[in-house]
Amino acid sequence: MRALLPLALTLMLAACGDGESLLPPDARLPDGGRYHGEVVNGLLQGEGRIDYPNGSWYAGSFKDGQWHGQGEWHGSNGEVYRGQFDHGLFHGLGDLTTPGSHYAGTFSHGRRDGEGTLKQADQSYRGQFKDDQYHGAGQLELADGSRYQGLFAHGKPNGAGVRSDASGNQFSGRFVDGQLQGSGT
């Protein structure tokens, strides 16, 4: 979804482009949206704002008709992203709030990737992400007071780690797909 709106807008503008600016600084778009900002050679370029018919909006930098650089996106379902964009996708440092969660950290091509912190009602994670999943070194704290600190792969504890329960009992050892292998200590 994050990539479709800018792409559709780029295609609409490119289809009617002849190398000149075709939109005034404040224009109604073919999809019913409203754009206010800079246009160069028929493409959104520089600073601007788009208000979409579904109630979502984007304000920030554009390059070649796509969200690019620093910007802010508000989705129609209450999502808010503030940060960097590349070719219409969350990319670089950013802050994403959705109903029930908050993520602050690094994105790559629209996905959580790199260092970050994710807070949800039932858990909090601080560490490394890959392809929107816990992956690498991190610490997971659950609402029941238990926690895991160690290595993750594909969203689950994998490798060396320490699990602590709410009573303070610790289990140290090797984990595979979230399960402690062997007796641990």
CATH code, 67: 2.20.110
Domain boundaries, position 139: 122-185
pLDDT digits (tens, 9 = 90+) for 143-180: 999 999 999 999 999 999 999 999 989 999 999 999 98
Q: How many domains does the chain have?
A: 2
pLDDT digits (tens, 9 = 90+) for 60-87: 999 998 999 999 999 999 999 999 999 9
Statement to judge: residues 23 and 101 lie in one domain: yes
| Of residues 133 and 13, more confidently modeled | 133
What's the predicted TM-score (pTM) here? 0.83
Q: Per the structure block, which two tokens stand in for 136?
A: 């690498």
Statement to judge: residues 102 and 179 lie in one domain: no
DSSP-derived pairing of the beta strands 43-51 and 57-63: antiparallel
Q: Please state, in angstroms and rounded to a whole number, the distance separating the CA atoms of residues 86 and 51.
A: 19
Q: Which residues of 68-104 are buried (b: 16+ CB within 10 A; e: fewer)?
A: beebbbbbeeebebbbbbbebbbbebbbbbeeeeebb
Are 160 and 174 spatial neighbours (Cβ–Cβ below 8 Å)? yes
Number of neighbouring beta carbons within 10 Å of residue 44: 27
